[in-house]
Amino acid sequence: MGEDELEAWFGQDVAERAAAFEPIGADRAWTLGAAAAGAEPDDALLMAVADGADGPWLVERSGEAMRLVPVSPTWVWRRLAGLLPALG
């Protein structure tokens, strides 16, 4: 998965988003950025998820590469809840 595909998921073009979502059965995508008060933007913890009838897919970045990892809704909530204490 490349930057272009990720940009299509979060872009403004409805047709591009639909085409990007189709292979994994998703119909929406969202991102969350969390940072402690006064932190630099580069210090924010980020999470990107594509979601649909088949369940959520986490966008996982490793260096320059990105991949989709199927996860459960419970996993997403646990990850969201874990972001706050990580901001310390």
pTM score > 0.85 for this model?
no
Helix H or strand E segment including 61: strand 57-62
pLDDT tens per residue, range 35-84: 778 888 777 777 889 888 889 998 887 777 778 889 999 999 998 888 77
* Segments making up each domain of the chain, as ranges: 3-87
31 CB contacts (<8 Å, ≥6 apart)? 10, 46, 47, 48, 49
Higher pLDDT, 31 or 88: 31
pLDDT digit string, tens, across residues 19-38: 888 888 888 888 888 877 88
